[in-house]
Structure 1
């Protein structure tokens, strides 16, 4: 009888429940910073800090063939906001040479602060418009600011410059790098409220590029009616759940969320089947072009896979825009439906990771075209739906969410995120 697989998990949320429900043995994280860390696991769900210390440090850890890690070493090329903008701009320049730059025209105009502040200031002087300022390594809406004219831009610059001058280390200064992104002032509204879409893409390899997209996902709604008259209201203009939970209008039962199947049905009923199909095919194109923009930049470690969380906004002309990409999308179950969705795509994700690694060398032609809610969209080249299908993207189509209604590790209480485990780092000499 084979030995049960083992795992180590640096965060307590749905992924830990999935590992336990599969019968995997837990390898505990060290409780103290100076405590020796066990490497006797088959799967690790690691923090970005662990990846940086163990896979990009002076003495990278040597992994056994059977070990699997949930991040590629430098996936920040895609998920750090300033680097994402840089890589998309580079891809746009390359495609311009062959007249196809429009295929990458899905990211709002973006400047990196402070490096491109002069260009940004010149832009806002000539064309007053709303801008959203985001810390490059921020999450959950933290540190986001709004500006819409020259005076507000200068005030933002003066405030951040003062903070930069007070920094004692280069790392502290790095945290004050921002992306300044043109705000989309005309979002598609449902019930008078703004929303964005959270979708999931599983990358099994970058060389060759192999990508599954999960057809399920959810819309995150603002709890307050949309208006540009109070630009700067976080509850109106930011859809992050971490922001919305502070609103007096937030409904904890529904979590201000709507599944993507409901969204696709809504668009089809209101605008027609073809329009709906085009919207979600365009969103799939956004996901793939963003991954292609970094395929040659990301270190393709054979032990690694990654689940990216994509945030997409649809404008009122039905044009989708890429807002950001998350390397560590929230896996907390805010509601029972939310928990079941995340349990389902995480459980199926681990199945696909094991399928991909079952044979060495890998025969990628044997990978399933569809598995649970996942659809293979790129396997060293595009994978198209069957010819007889009228669907050109499965995103938002009916998704089999099995969840885990009988999972003994599930509780009715809200899950709390524990402080991620940060490993020891070696002093540079």
Structure 2
């Protein structure tokens, strides 16, 4: 039986119809990366790695492979792959901002300014060189503002051949970040999308805050150890302590913020983050090529300012799966194991689950109700996603119950 392989005689997006997915005891997988995901796949019961052109059911590929091969691939009903075809609509900085601006204008036309204001969570951004004159006009109008220049995306990303020069985005720098111990930090949060039409998105309870190694100041604007929180940069600092590291688990951050600001302010903060995830996904919902064979694990980078307002910095299609410590490795193993549970190649879930391992169903063609049937709301009465980011993650108990239910379902079917 052909499961997944490169072909040259199949039409684009030609799929063979099959019956409903049945439980599978043996999954053939390919992995194009050598990091934590390779370890997780290798240790998963009933999964077997295939090499070269062997038949596969599941492929964790890099975006380069996707760009070169997806249009020529033939996949049966059950096959799964870890990226959507044009994921870059959300993960290239210039495309993300373009889509968010368009979506905000759409909301203003259809629902008014109050609804459009819910998209005011990304710093003012201009694409260069195409918006150079607009940027210069803004720069002259507000001469005291600090801007940060970023490449709009990897040169190996989609559309590399259409870009004749290196493109950048000029983004207003958040000059009043929330500080802990005088140090700047940002948040890495994981969102799993299993469908865009209808939109079905899961939010992971675990995540982490990445701290700078040096106390924050605007007087040394060119010091990367002050302003950039990437671990790859911070670990090269002269006084970096590898045992101490530069990360907090997101549960630790939530407890710190509750102790300092109270539960109401912190709950509002995390609900505002939920809004960022949902609105950003909705901004590309009609643009992403929805394919039932695809899923995407996004890494969101969020910055808090001193008023506890969250700002979206960027979304990553290939968030780093390389661990910087044992704690980091354990977190990413749990994340990837639970991603595989949600994708459910084995066909064990009912499809009605709202909680799988560390993932909470955040959106299912609309806000997800709690187990008591109620919808979470904030003070202005707007419905919010039912998520628990930074809350206690009793994933083992949840997974034991799910597997127990799946086992009963399998026995009944037999």
TM-score by shorter chain over 0.5:
yes
Query: Does residue 1:95 correspond to 2:95, yes or no?
Result: no
User: Are the counterparts in 2 of residues 217 and 259 from structure 1 also a CA contact under 8 Å?
Assistant: yes
Q: CA deviation digits over 1:208-255, x for unaligned, max 9?
A: 110000011000000010000001211110101111111112222243
Q: CA deviation digits over 1:327-352, x for unaligned, max 9?
A: 00000111111011110011011011
Choose from 129, 149, 168 the match for 1:133: 149
Greater RCO between the two (CA within 8 Å, min separation 6)? 1
| 2:49 corresponding residue in structure 1 | 26
Q: CA deviation at 1:2?
A: 6.4
User: C-alpha distance in 2, partners of 1:7/1:240?
Assistant: 31
SS at match of 1:62: strand
User: Are the counterparts in 2 of residues 137 and 175 from structure 1 also a CA contact under 8 Å?
Assistant: no
User: C-alpha distance in 2, partners of 1:65/1:401?
Assistant: 29
Query: Does residue 1:369 correspond to 2:381, yes or no?
Result: no
User: C-alpha distance in 2, partners of 1:291/1:192?
Assistant: 33
Q: CA deviation at 1:41?
A: 1.1
| 1:239 corresponding residue in structure 2 | 229
Unaligned 5+ runs, structure 1: 29-36, 140-168, 403-429
Choose from 113, 121, 125 the match for 1:106: 121
User: Are the counterparts in 2 of residues 377 and 384 from structure 1 also a CA contact under 8 Å?
Assistant: no
Query: Does residue 1:354 correspond to 2:339, yes or no?
Result: no
| 1:406 corresponding residue in structure 2 | none
| 2:79 corresponding residue in structure 1 | 67
SS at match of 2:170: strand
Q: CA deviation at 1:42?
A: 1.3
Identify if the C-alpha distance between structure 1 residues 255 and 171 changes in structure 2 by more than 3 Å, giving closer, same or farther. Answer: farther
User: C-alpha distance in 1, partners of 2:37/2:77?
Assistant: 22
| 2:181 corresponding residue in structure 1 | 191
| 1:79 corresponding residue in structure 2 | 91
User: C-alpha distance in 2, partners of 1:346/1:296?
Assistant: 27
Choose from 120, 126, 133 the match for 2:135: 120
User: C-alpha distance in 2, partners of 1:203/1:87?
Assistant: 18
Q: CA deviation at 1:371?
A: 1.4
SS at match of 2:222: coil
User: C-alpha distance in 1, partners of 2:57/2:335?
Assistant: 20
User: C-alpha distance in 2, partners of 1:270/1:393?
Assistant: 22
User: C-alpha distance in 2, partners of 1:210/1:323?
Assistant: 23
User: C-alpha distance in 2, partners of 1:170/1:211?
Assistant: 29
SS at match of 1:63: strand
User: C-alpha distance in 1, partners of 2:164/2:267?
Assistant: 41
Q: CA deviation at 1:393?
A: 3.9
User: Are the counterparts in 2 of residues 224 and 249 from structure 1 also a CA contact under 8 Å?
Assistant: no
User: C-alpha distance in 1, partners of 2:354/2:24?
Assistant: 29
Q: CA deviation at 1:62?
A: 1.1
- Give the structure-1-normalised TM-score: 0.79
Unaligned 5+ runs, structure 2: 1-22, 379-385, 397-414
- Give the structure-2-normalised TM-score: 0.82
Identify if the C-alpha distance between structure 1 residues 331 and 401 changes in structure 2 by more than 3 Å, giving closer, same or farther. Answer: farther
User: Are the counterparts in 2 of residues 340 and 401 from structure 1 also a CA contact under 8 Å?
Assistant: no
The RMSD of aligned alpha carbons is: 2.3
SS at match of 2:76: coil
User: Are the counterparts in 2 of residues 254 and 335 from structure 1 also a CA contact under 8 Å?
Assistant: no
Q: How many residues align structurally?
A: 357
SS at match of 1:247: coil
User: C-alpha distance in 2, partners of 1:64/1:390?
Assistant: 41
User: C-alpha distance in 2, partners of 1:353/1:173?
Assistant: 35
User: Are the counterparts in 1 of residues 204 and 359 from structure 2 also a CA contact under 8 Å?
Assistant: yes
Identify if the C-alpha distance between structure 1 residues 230 and 52 changes in structure 2 by more than 3 Å, giving closer, same or farther. Answer: same
